[in-house]
Structures are given as C-alpha cells and as structure tokens.
C-alpha cells in the first residue's frame, strides 16, 4: 500500500517536472537554441521582423502583447533590430547628390545669363543718346514714359478723355524741346523724357524784345508759343496756327486787349456763339493782337481740342484751354508778340532748335563665357556614414 502511494507520488513529480520544463522551453529566447539566420541581412522586412518579435516574447514572458507594446514605446525594440537600411540610404544619397549638382549647374547658367543681360541693359542706358527707338522700347515701358510726363508736369487729368490727356501731354512735351509738333511719342520725345536726357534745347536770342519783362514768340513752323522773360525761357506751349501759311500774319505785334468768356461773332461765315459755352471756338479766354485793332486776330482757347498742334485756324492762334487760362493770368496787355516761321524768326535774331546724338546700330549682345561646373558642396562629417560605401564584408 505504501509502495503504491510512493510510486504514484513519483509519477506526479515527474509529470510536474516535465510540464515545467516544457513551459521553460517555450519561454526561452530563440537565440539560445538556434544559430542566427544570416539571411536576415538581406530580408529586413521578414526575418528581422520575426527576430524582433521573438525578442519581444522573451522580454515580455507570458505577457507578450504588453511587453511588445512596452518595448515599442521605449524605443528599445528598434535599437535591438539589425540596421540594414544603410544600403538604401547610400543609394538615395548618391541620387540626391547628382540631382543637387544638376540643379546647381542650371542655376549657375541662369545666373550667368541674367548677369550678361543686366550688363547689356546697363550699357544701353549709359549710352541712351545713341539708342534706336526699338532699344528704347525694350528698356522702358509705355507706363514709364507716361509717368515721366506726369512728373514733368506735361500730363494732366484735365479732361474725361484719357486719350486726349495723353495727346496734350505729348504735344506739351514736344513744345518744351522746340520739336515740330506731331502728337506722336517718337524717339526724340522718348529720349527727352529720360532722367539723364541727351536732348539739348537751344533758344538763341540776339536781342530780347524786353530786357527783363515777359515777351512772346509764335513759331509757325513748329506750332510753338514761347514765353520769355528777358533772355530766358519762361514756358513753352503747343498751339494751332492758320490752315495755310498766309492766314496767320507774321511780324512784331503786341497784346492790346484781354477778355474772359469772349463771344464769337461768326467770322462772317457762321452764326454767332455766346461766350462761356463749350461750343464757342474762342474758348474761355481772348488775348487780342495789335494787328486789326485787337478784335480780328488773337490768341485764344478752342472748341476743338485735337486741333492743337496742327494747321487748322482761320488766322488766330489756338491754345489748349487750360494753357491759355494759365497764360492769361500772368501776361499783361502790352506784352510784345513776335510771329513768324523759323526763317522769319531768324530774321528777328531768334533761333529755336534742339540737338540729340543720332542713334547707332545696336551692338550685338556679348556672349557670356561658359561657367565652370559648380564645385560639389563639402561633405558633412556628421553624415559620413550616409555617403561612404559600405564595407565589402558587410554586403556579403
């Protein structure tokens, strides 16, 4: 009886020991019983994952899920996994370096092109006197010239018609440089607007009509009225003169009358028009000349704004309405007025002209020298492991 009980106890102990051994075997780390799999170096996505999972099991014991989560959160799991990504990092770095070198080369070429273009434009600006109109248009926009006319006081927003305001600005500019008026912003007009303008305006006077007071010339060849003060130019205005050369008289006259909002009698060929109305061909001011007693010929405003700068009148001298209103305020009765063509004014001892160097053929743009290939940026010692080829034995 006692022997049977002892035998059963031995069997129970042996079974318990066997079960304990099985449990310990299941919980033992894989590395204790198996050699490491060298193929894991070539297959980081499978073998390495299995190994790290086994490590997680060993570290966690029976609490596998909790242990894996703990290792993942602490970063220890990643530290234990074999790092085989250096091969891919090396290849990616080589590709990145080549892309960077190509980008730097293209940037260097573009910088060289822009520098050459900037140098060409700078040289053209420095030699603006000899630029052609095409070169001027390349260097300066239309907005630039309009702004310059504003800055110089030629462009005024006087009317609701922008095209008329622009035209008035151009003919004011042209009158200021003694240029025959054509209302076209051509090469000379554009050069006159440059900040360092090469246009030289000349008024040569042998003997002024007044030593220190105002006096006026009206140039029929250029359609320009010039107000002098002594021997100095005070201001120039664009005008319209007779439709034929004989209609506007030539000679030395003076103003003998002035009137605000003058009535127009019709000139013998039209119905009279009361003063102060927009349709009055005399505009809002009249300054009568001594020839004809002050009532036949005069300097006045207009009812046809686009006629200024042309040969359009029946003998009087028309001005832009705001211009004649301005001049009316400071020119007194008795002011001398000399009228004539260029040749007639020359007889009076007066020369009015401008000079500007003639344009030359545009020099070809210099061809930029080829830029040397950019030097690769020095390697960062801290990233040396990313750009140094792996040792041969590590690739085996």
Instruction: Give the C-alpha separation, 312 to 308, whole Å.
Output: 8
Domain boundary among 17, 52, 80: 80
Confidence (pLDDT) at 57: 54
Q: Are residues 182 and 290 in the same domain?
A: yes
Q: Are residues 71 and 205 in the same domain?
A: no
Instruction: Give the C-alpha separation, 310 to 287, whole Å.
Output: 20
Q: Are residues 131 and 68 in the same domain?
A: no
Confidence (pLDDT) at 41: 45
Residues sharing a CB contact under 8 Å with residue 132, sequence separation 6 or more, in sequence order: 187, 359, 360, 362
Active-site annotation holds for 316: yes
Confidence (pLDDT) at 268: 81
Q: Are residues 57 and 140 in the same domain?
A: no
> Would 52 be classed as within a structural domain?
yes
pLDDT band with cut points at 50, 70 and 90 for residue 22: low
CATH label of the domain that carries residue 228? 2.40.440.10
- Check pLDDT > 60 for residue 214: yes
| pLDDT tens digit sequence for 93-131 | 888 888 888 889 999 998 888 887 777 666 665 667 778
Beta strands in 130-213 (DSSP E): 200-205
More confident residue, 304 or 378: 304
Active-site annotation holds for 314: no
Q: Are residues 151 and 14 in the same domain?
A: no
Which of 65-79, 187-201, 273-287 has the lowest average pLDDT?
65-79
Q: What is the average per-residue pLDDT within 227-253?
A: 97
User: How remote is the C-alpha of 120 from its chain's centroid?
Assistant: 17
More confident residue, 278 or 72: 278
> Would 341 be classed as within a structural domain?
yes
Residues sharing a CB contact under 8 Å with residue 244, sequence separation 6 or more, in sequence order: 311
Task: Please identify which of the residues 7, 234, 300, 314 carries the catalytic annotation.
Answer: 300
> Would 378 be classed as within a structural domain?
no
- Check pLDDT > 70 for residue 285: yes
Domain boundary among 80, 106, 140: 80
> Would 101 be classed as within a structural domain?
no
Q: Are residues 162 and 291 in the same domain?
A: yes
Judge contact between 161 and 316, C-beta under 8 A: no
Domain boundary among 320, 337, 355: 355
Confidence (pLDDT) at 80: 54
Q: Are residues 155 and 45 in the same domain?
A: no
Burial state string for 161-186 with b = 16 or more CB within 10 A and e = fewer than 16: eeeebbbbbbbbbbbbbbbebebebe
- Check pLDDT > 90 for residue 308: yes
> Would 87 be classed as within a structural domain?
no
DSSP string covering 101-152, please? Answer: HHHHHHHHHHHHHHHHHHHHHHHHHHTGGG--HHHHHHHS-HHHHHHHHHHT
Residues sharing a CB contact under 8 Å with residue 392, sequence separation 6 or more, in sequence order: none
Nearest one of 316, 287, 290 to 304, comparing CA atoms: 316
Q: Are residues 193 and 327 in the same domain?
A: yes
Residues found in the chain: 396
- Check pLDDT > 90 for residue 44: no
| pLDDT tens digit sequence for 130-150 | 788 888 888 889 999 999 999
- Check pLDDT > 70 for residue 255: yes
Confidence (pLDDT) at 42: 44
Instruction: Give the C-alpha separation, 112 to 368, whole Å.
Output: 7
> Would 113 be classed as within a structural domain?
no
Q: Domain count of the chain?
A: 2
- Check pLDDT > 50 for residue 4: no
Q: Are residues 169 and 311 in the same domain?
A: yes
Confidence (pLDDT) at 330: 98
Q: Are residues 59 and 149 in the same domain?
A: no
Q: Are residues 342 and 201 in the same domain?
A: yes
Instruction: Give the C-alpha separation, 51 to 104, whole Å.
Output: 44
> Would 62 be classed as within a structural domain?
yes
| pLDDT tens digit sequence for 340-375 | 999 999 999 999 999 987 765 544 555 555 555 545
> Would 371 be classed as within a structural domain?
no
Q: Are residues 190 and 299 in the same domain?
A: yes
**Domain extent at residue 68:** 2-31+40-80
């Amino acid at each position: 009886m006692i022997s049977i009980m002892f035998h059963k106890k031995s069997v129970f102990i042996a079974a318990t020991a066997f079960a304990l051994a099985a449990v310990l075997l299941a919980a033992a780390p894989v590395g204790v019983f198996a050699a490491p799999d060298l193929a894991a170096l070539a297959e980081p996505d499978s073998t390495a994952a299995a190994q790290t999972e086994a490590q997680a099991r060993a570290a966690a014991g029976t609490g596998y899920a909790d242990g894996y989560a703990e290792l993942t959160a602490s970063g220890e799991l990643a530290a234990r996994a074999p790092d085989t990504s250096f091969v891919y990092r090396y290849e990616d770095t080589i590709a990145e370096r080549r892309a960077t070198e190509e980008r730097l080369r293209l940037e260097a070429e573009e910088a060289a092109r822009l520098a050459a273009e900037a140098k060409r434009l700078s040289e053209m600006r420095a030699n603006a006197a000899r630029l052609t109109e095409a070169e001027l248009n390349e260097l300066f926009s239309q907005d630039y010239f309009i702004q310059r006319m504003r800055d110089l006081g030629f462009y005024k927003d006087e009317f609701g018609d922008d095209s008329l305001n622009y035209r008035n600005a151009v003919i004011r500019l042209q009158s200021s440089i003694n240029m025959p008026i054509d209302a076209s912003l051509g090469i000379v007009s554009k050069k006159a607007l440059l900040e360092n303008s090469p246009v030289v305006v000349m008024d040569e006077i042998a003997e002024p009509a007044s030593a220190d007071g105002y006096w006026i010339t009206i140039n029929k060849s250029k359609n320009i009225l010039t107000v002098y003060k002594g021997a100095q130019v005070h201001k120039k205005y664009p005008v319209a003169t007779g439709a034929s050369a004989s209609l506007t008289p030539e000679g030395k006259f003076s103003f003998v009358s002035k009137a605000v909002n003058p009535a127009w009698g019709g000139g013998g060929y039209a119905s009279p028009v009361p003063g102060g109305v927009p349709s009055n061909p005399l505009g809002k001011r009249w300054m009568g000349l001594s020839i004809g007693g002050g009532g036949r010929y005069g300097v006045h405003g207009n009812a046809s704004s686009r006629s200024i700068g042309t040969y359009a009148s029946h003998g009087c001298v028309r001005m832009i309405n705001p211009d004649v209103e301005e001049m009316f305020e400071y020119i007194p009765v008795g002011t001398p007025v000399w009228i004539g063509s260029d040749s007639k004014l020359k007889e009076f001892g007066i020369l009015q002209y401008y000079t500007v160097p003639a344009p030359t053929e545009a020099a070809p743009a210099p061809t930029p020298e080829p830029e040397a290939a950019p030097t690769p940026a020095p390697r960062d010692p801290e990233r040396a492991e990313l750009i140094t080829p792996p040792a041969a034995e590590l690739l085996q």
